Amino acid sequence: MNKIMIVMGSKSDWPVMKEACLLLEELDVPYSRDVVSAHRTPEHLFDFAKNASSVGRKVIIAGAGGSAHLPGMIASLTSLPVIGVPIKTSKLSGVDSMLSIVQMPPGVPVGTMAINGAKNAALYALAILAISDEIIKEKLEEYRKNQTDTVMSDRKLVI
Ligand code: RP5
């Protein structure tokens, strides 16, 4: 079973959440993905979150918008680390999503990314796995080195 699970509240979240998927595919790290809605499919949410650890998941990335209860509800049902991605909304620009996800009660944490921060969610998931996985650690460090090299090279265009 893939260690990283990516879920989103709606297929409309896909354009944002695919950034996490693309990052993991770029680094050749396997993952699984699904649509799980806190409000529209609560029983699916319950089954998924209750079983996530026992089927081998190690970290969960959950993107949701608006009244974004998905990451918090997952976190309430599993002790796995949950990384929340607030999706930008048309009416409140994702501030609603961000506040819904970040304001968890003491005792049930969700690691909250920036609005639409799906790429960083993938990198953060890799950082968690890298603690105990040398191959992922090497991939993450190479990614960061390449990023630094690119910025240092681009810098020459402006100085
Ligand atoms: C949330 O409601 C989803 O995560 C999505 O961001 C938002 C809107 O969903 P749709 O109406 O587009 O399905 O649950």
Atom 12 (ligand 1): residue with closest C-alpha? 12
Q: Please write the tens of the pLDDT for every residue from 53-85.
A: 999 999 999 999 999 999 999 999 999 999 999
Q: How confident is the model at residue 159 (pLDDT cuts 50, 70, 90)?
A: confident
Q: Provide the b/e sequence for 59-84 (b: ≥16 CB within 10 Å).
A: bbbbbbbbebbbbbbbbebbebbbbb
Distance in Å, CA 10 to ligand 1 centroid: 5
Mean pLDDT over residues 12-34, rounded?
A: 98
Strand order in the sheet with 31-35: 31-35, 4-8, 59-65, 82-87, 111-112
Question: Distances from the Cα of 102 to the Cαs of 15, 38, 116, 130, 137, in angstroms?
Answer: 22, 16, 14, 24, 27
- Is the CB of 64 within 6 Å of ligand 1? yes
Q: Please write the tens of the pLDDT for every residue from 104-151.
A: 999 999 999 999 999 999 999 999 999 999 999 999 999 999 999 999
- Is the CB of 10 within 6 Å of ligand 1? yes
Q: Measured in Å, how far apart are the chain's first and last C-alpha atoms? A: 48
Q: How confident is the model at residue 31 (pLDDT cuts 50, 70, 90)?
A: very high
pTM: 0.97
